[in-house]
């Protein structure tokens, strides 16, 4: 499969189907109340452009309103902390698992000019700063902040950030707000649901997954994975294949020329999307869509992500992935030079180097590290489970009456 076949002929229909289902979802809710559809930056910027192409080609005049929504997990977390330190602390303990309050403060203040981070940190003792993030430790820190006689209180800063968020999220009580993003869990949707309980916050994601099995998660009652929902990837469930390499979807939807929103300013600069090559290929399908079989499209996505050829790995290849909230970077695929270096270093340390376990896309790493042998290995796993599942469904299920 070449680049055009993957992005235009496969991912084009994939996202066209997503837009079709999003339109159906928004239309359904617009019959119950005034409905606004918010496309979250950054992935939402590309989805917004694709959705407008979908509406234009199909001559649809929607019964709902569309909005660009500058938001991110960091921006939403600031509002949650301003609303309730215990609740915000709970969200932070999930997003920044096993991190300290010091780390949280540095993340919150990393891209702003109001507060001097080093000076601010120096006003707290180490028992507060080095505590692991929990609802209690976050409340203790913010309580100390309120009592601290420092020039700039972070509580005041968080309150201003929450007010700025409210300016961009303008749905009124009794209205519907559909939050559109790539997925997976929906921290932003969870926070918006808590901040605006009188607004029905609905998630319209490309894919939905409560992969950490967080409970309770009340926002999930109105969360839709429009291309599927699962907690893990299964060979026998085609739509779940994106969980094998979720960064493939995220990378495809990230605009190269637009940064993530972690800080609100008094005047937000307008944005103009410049699509990269892969996004343009997807958009080409929208400009001249052909008949497609979505079951076949999902099967192709499953095969490519579960049993990729070396050429497909090179097409999809992306070296590192940085988490927008934690800022931590991990390798999607470890190239040959780095792999050799890791193996040499770990051999000296006498530890298991576990190259495949270190990669975010393990099937791609297996092919990269082991070539034809890795390709055959992936194929054996993929086809045996697919055939076994088909056998059970066609022969065993009728016998037991399923």
pLDDT per residue over 4-39, tens digit each?
999 999 999 999 999 999 999 999 999 999 999 999
Higher-pLDDT residue of 15 and 216 is 15
Q: Which of 134, 164, 194 is the last residue of a domain?
A: 164
pLDDT of residue 212: 75
Asked if the structure places residue 29 within a domain, the reply is no
Range in 23-32, 223-232, 315-324 the model is least confident about: 315-324
Mean pLDDT of 169-176: 90
Q: Which of 114, 149, 164 is the last residue of a domain?
A: 164
Asked if the structure places residue 278 within a domain, the reply is no
Asked if the structure places residue 89 within a domain, the reply is yes
Cα–Cα nearest to 267, from 374, 168, 335, 124: 168
Range in 255-264, 291-300, 359-368 the model is least confident about: 255-264
Place 321 in a pLDDT band, splitting at 50, 70 and 90.
low
Phi and psi at 66, nearest 5°, equal -110, 140
Is 352 a residue whose pLDDT tops 60? no
CB–CB of 6/304 below 8 Å? yes
User: What single-letter DSSP state applies at residue 243?
Assistant: G
By DSSP bridging, strand 223-225 and strand 35-40 are: unpaired
Q: Which of 164, 199, 219 is the last residue of a domain?
A: 164
Asked if the structure places residue 51 within a domain, the reply is no
Backbone dihedral region for residue 9 (phi beyond 0: left; psi -120 to 50: alpha; all else: beta): alpha
The pTM score is 0.89
Cβ-count burial of 202 within 10 angstroms (0-12 exposed, 13-18 middle, 19+ buried)? buried
Count how many Cα atoms sit within 13 Å of the Cα of residue 13 in the half-sphere of its side chain.
Answer: 17
Place 393 in a pLDDT band, splitting at 50, 70 and 90.
low
pLDDT of residue 401: 46
Q: What is the distance of C-alpha 205 from the center of its chain?
A: 9
CB–CB of 47/53 below 8 Å? no
Average pLDDT, the chain: 89
- pLDDT single digits (tens) 46-61: 999 999 999 999 999 9
pLDDT of residue 358: 81
Asked if the structure places residue 18 within a domain, the reply is no
Q: What is the distance of C-alpha 110 from the center of its chain?
A: 21
Asked if the structure places residue 218 within a domain, the reply is no
Helix axes 73-83, 85-95, angle to 10 degrees: 150
Q: In a 3-state reduction of DSSP, which class is residue 322?
A: strand
pLDDT of residue 192: 96
CB–CB of 378/241 below 8 Å? no
Number of domains in the chain: 2
pLDDT of residue 346: 65
CB–CB of 75/165 below 8 Å? yes
pLDDT of residue 402: 45
Place 353 in a pLDDT band, splitting at 50, 70 and 90.
low
Give 241's contacts (C-beta < 8 A, 6+ positions apart): 233, 298, 301, 302, 304, 305, 306
Q: Which domain holds residue 126?
A: 74-164
Asked if the structure places residue 256 within a domain, the reply is no
Asked if the structure places residue 152 within a domain, the reply is yes
């Amino acid at each position: 499969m070449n680049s055009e076949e993957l992005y235009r002929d496969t991912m084009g229909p994939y996202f066209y189907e997503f837009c079709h289902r999003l339109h159906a979802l928004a239309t359904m809710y617009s019959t119950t109340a005034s409905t606004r559809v918010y496309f979250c930056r950054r992935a939402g910027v590309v989805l917004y452009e694709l959705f407008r192409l979908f509406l234009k080609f199909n001559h649809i005049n929607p019964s709902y309103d569309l909005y660009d929504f500058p938001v991110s997990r960091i921006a939403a977390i600031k509002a949650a902390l301003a609303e309730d330190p215990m609740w915000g602390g709970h969200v932070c303990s999930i997003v920044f698992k096993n991190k300290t309050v010091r780390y949280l403060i540095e993340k919150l203040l990393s891209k702003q000019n109001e507060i001097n981070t080093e000076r601010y940190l120096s006003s707290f003792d180490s028992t507060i700063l080095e505590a692991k993030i929990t609802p209690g430790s976050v409340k203790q820190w913010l309580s100390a902040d309120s009592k601290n006689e420092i020039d700039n209180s972070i509580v005041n800063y968080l309150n201003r950030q929450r007010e700025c968020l409210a300016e961009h999220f303008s749905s009124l009580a009794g209205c519907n707000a559909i939050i559109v993003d790539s997925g997976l869990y929906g921290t932003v949707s969870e926070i918006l649901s808590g901040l605006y309980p009188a607004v029905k916050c609905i998630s319209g994601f490309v894919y939905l997954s409560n992969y950490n099995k967080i409970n309770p998660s009340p926002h999930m009652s109105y969360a839709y994975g429009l291309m599927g929902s699962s907690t893990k990837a299964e060979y026998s469930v085609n739509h779940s294949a994106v969980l094998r390499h979720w960064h493939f979807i995220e990378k495809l939807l990230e605009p190269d020329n637009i940064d993530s929103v972690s800080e609100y300013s008094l005047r937000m600069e307008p944005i103009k999307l410049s699509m990269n090559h892969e996004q343009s290929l997807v958009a080409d399908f929208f400009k001249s869509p052909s008949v497609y079989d979505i079951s076949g499209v999902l099967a192709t996505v499953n095969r490519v992500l579960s049993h990729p050829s070396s050429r497909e790995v090179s097409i999809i290849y992306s070296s590192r992935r940085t988490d927008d909230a934690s800022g931590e970077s991990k390798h999607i695929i470890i190239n040959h030079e780095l792999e050799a270096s890791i193996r040499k270093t770990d051999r000296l340390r006498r530890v298991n180097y576990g190259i495949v376990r270190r990669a975010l896309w393990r099937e791609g790493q297996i092919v990269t590290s082991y070539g034809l042998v890795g390709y055959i290995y992936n194929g054996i796993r993929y086809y045996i489970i697919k055939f076994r599942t088909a056998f059970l469904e066609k022969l065993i299920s009728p016998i037991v009456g399923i």
